[in-house]
Amino acid sequence: MERFETAKARLEEVQAAITEKQAQRKMMENFMEVLRGLPEQVNYFDEGAWYAMVDFATVYGKDDVRFTFKNGMEVPTKTE
């Protein structure tokens, strides 16, 4: 019975990991689809593309703001 419970717990862990990976894959596919839809060079601000690609911004201080994209990449800003 103990082996069964251990195997069952492990199965649940693996299933949760698979579900998480599938969600990450779908998110990355959506991100790539938005990127492919953009022109090679962007000369204007596209609010729809911005919201589709940026997950959140973190403000650490006046001169330290970082944008985290939906693919997990973090980009610091430069203030001038």
Domain positions in the chain are 2-76
pLDDT of residue 79: 65
pLDDT of residue 53: 83
Name residue 51's amino acid. Y
First to last CA, the chain: 65
pLDDT in 10s for each residue of the chain, 80 residues: 999 999 999 999 999 999 999 998 888 888 788 778 877 877 888 888 888 889 999 999 888 899 998 878 899 987 66
